[in-house]
């Protein structure tokens, strides 16, 4: 227990290094991607990023901020904020320019080969006609000769050679040195915004150009994931563009001036393990949804549909944390009574298949379930959200957005979107052995 407390204290001290902003990057059907601020961590405390240091633009949405776009913790590209604006409902968001890691790597290649291609400053190819031999002879000789012959020997003809050598190099050497000094002055101009922001905490600034991308933490190509089912595998370089540019796609993003390099939280599981955990999660979710329905109106949900199951290894210990999202329609009364008479309840290995949903059902049920697999291979429920279309005012439905390292300690947290009949909020949870501990809720005034 003391070791666990000590480890938690170490993570807390590391989280005090800020600021670290968490946002969502949303790709609409058309147009540039939009960045939606979620929370910002400063001195170990989470704040609402949509209002933190708003003057009037929130600090998290200042133009020039760079966000590293991630999928299950793995970097897939960079989003540079261009303009911040307010939506009709007053919420802040920012337009962004997105570049995948493949595009950034491609931008670096021409820059690396450019000096080699331009190294042929040998437009002396034009001099090879004949002037090159005459020019190449005096130039190398003029450099060493003015040092030795002028001082030691004072014959008549050497001074004739000294004059063109002494007059030509002095002005020519000064002229190329001036443009060389002017070149760094042009590159130093982008550093001015950093100095202007020195009075308050600074997020990652600038544009992820070819030069800056090499110095930004985590600005590397996404590594190929181990072979695993596509539904749970970490994003590969080939899938990065499709994952990022798909219409309606929402991914997490982190902006941190000195944060750690991202790494994947996706669990690379085998197909047989995937099927086993999926079926176990569906049985557990069906039981939780039936318990909810029995306590709120006595109705009965039908078969789970639109089932999504994702598995993570948040702490890097090969301990699966699984999340399920699904919905169900209200089962007809006849089907529900038959189900009660048969005594079939999906709470064990001998569970009978659930009845097919009815298209005429009035209510829609939602279930979101988070669980972990213990050392014995059994699932332990961490948290469940169950609701229906009549009780969204009291019981919001939850959607898992992704796993993300919100505090920069190398361990992943789970970010959910909770939706009620009056709006939505973002909630950040840390997975513990027995439950999900809430770290931040945008619907609460005090964080």
Instruction: Note the pLDDT tens digit of each residue in 265-311.
Output: 999 888 888 899 999 999 999 999 999 999 998 888 999 999 999 99
**Which of these ranges, 6-20, 102-116, 169-183, 357-371, has the smallest mean pLDDT?**
169-183
First to last CA, the chain: 27
**Three-state DSSP class for 130?**
coil
Q: At residue 211, does pLDDT exceed 90?
A: no
**pLDDT of the residue at 157:** 47
Contact 23, 37 (CB under 8 A): yes
**pLDDT of the residue at 21:** 97
- Using 50, 70 and 90 to split pLDDT, how confident is the model at 318? confident
* Residue partners of 219: CB distance under 8 A and separation at least 6: 68, 75, 78, 101, 104, 208, 213
**pLDDT of the residue at 206:** 62
**pLDDT of the residue at 355:** 46
Contact 387, 365 (CB under 8 A): yes
Instruction: Tell whether pTM > 0.85.
Output: no
Contact 366, 327 (CB under 8 A): yes
Q: At residue 120, does pLDDT exceed 80?
A: no
What is the residue whose two structure tokens read 């089912």?
A: 229
**pLDDT of the residue at 370:** 98
- Using 50, 70 and 90 to split pLDDT, how confident is the model at 96? very high
**Three-state DSSP class for 27?**
coil
- Using 50, 70 and 90 to split pLDDT, how confident is the model at 116? low
Tokens matching residue 291: 């318990």
Average the pLDDT over 313-327 and give the result: 93
**Which of these ranges, 39-43, 360-364, 439-443, has the smallest mean pLDDT?**
360-364
**Mean pLDDT, the chain, whole residue set:** 73
Domain residue spans of the chain: 18-107+202-256, 271-441
Q: At residue 183, does pLDDT exceed 90?
A: no
**pLDDT of the residue at 331:** 87
Burial 6-35 (b: 16+ CB within 10 A, else e): eeeeebeeebebbbbbbbbbebeeeeebbb
333-342: Cβ within 8 A, 24+ apart: 335/300, 335/302, 336/299, 336/300, 339/300
Phi, psi of 371 (to 5 degrees): -150, 170
Identify the residue with better confidence: 394 or 354. Answer: 394
Contact 399, 417 (CB under 8 A): yes
């Amino acid at each position: 227990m003391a070791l666990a407390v000590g480890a938690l204290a170490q993570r807390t001290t590391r989280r005090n290094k800020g600021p670290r902003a968490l946002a969502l990057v949303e790709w609409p059907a058309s147009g540039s991607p939009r960045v939606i601020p979620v929370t910002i961590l400063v001195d170990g405390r989470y704040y609402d990023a949509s209002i933190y240091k708003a003057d009037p633009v929130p600090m998290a949405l200042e133009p020039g901020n760079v966000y590293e776009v991630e999928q299950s913790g793995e970097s897939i590209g960079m989003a540079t904020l261009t303009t911040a604006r307010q939506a009709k409902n007053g919420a802040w968001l920012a337009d962004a320019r997105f570049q995948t890691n493949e595009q950034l790597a491609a931008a670096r290649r021409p820059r690396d080969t450019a000096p080699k291609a331009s190294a042929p400053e040998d437009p002396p190819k034009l001099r090879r006609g004949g002037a090159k031999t005459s020019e190449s002879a005096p130039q190398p000789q003029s450099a060493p000769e003015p040092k030795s012959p002028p001082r030691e020997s004072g014959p008549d003809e050497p001074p004739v050679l000294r004059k063109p050598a002494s007059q030509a190099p002095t002005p020519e050497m000064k002229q190329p040195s001036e443009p060389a000094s002017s070149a760094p002055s042009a590159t130093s101009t982008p550093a001015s915004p950093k100095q202007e922001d020195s009075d308050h905490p600074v997020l990652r600034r600038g544009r992820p150009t070819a030069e800056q991308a090499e110095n930004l933490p985590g600005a590397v190509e996404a590594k190929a994931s181990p072979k695993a089912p596509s539904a749970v595998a970490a994003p590969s370089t080939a899938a990065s563009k499709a994952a990022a540019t798909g219409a309606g796609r929402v991914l997490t993003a982190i902006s941190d001036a000195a944060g750690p390099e991202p790494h994947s939280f996706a669990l690379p599981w085998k197909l047989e393990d995937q099927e086993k955990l999926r079926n176990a999660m569906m049985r557990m979710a069906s039981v939780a949804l039936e318990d909810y329905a029995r306590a709120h109106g006595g109705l009965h949900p039908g078969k789970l549909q639109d089932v999504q199951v994702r598995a993570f290894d948040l702490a890097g210990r090969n301990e699966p944390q699984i999340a399920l999202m699904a919905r169900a329609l209200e089962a007809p009364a006849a089907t529900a009574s038959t189900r009660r008479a048969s005594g079939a309840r999906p709470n064990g290995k001998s569970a009978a298949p659930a009845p097919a949903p009815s298209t005429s059902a009035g209510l829609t049920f939602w279930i979101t379930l988070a669980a972990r697999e213990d050392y014995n291979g059994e699932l332990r429920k961490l948290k469940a959200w169950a609701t229906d279309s009549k009780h969204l005012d009291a019981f919001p439905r939850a959607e898992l957005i992704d796993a993300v390292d919100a505090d920069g300690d190398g361990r992943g947290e789970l970010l959910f979107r909770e939706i009620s009949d009056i709006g939505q909020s973002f909630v950040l949870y840390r997975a513990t052995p027995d439950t999900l501990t809430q770290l931040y809720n945008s619907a609460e005034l005090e964080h």
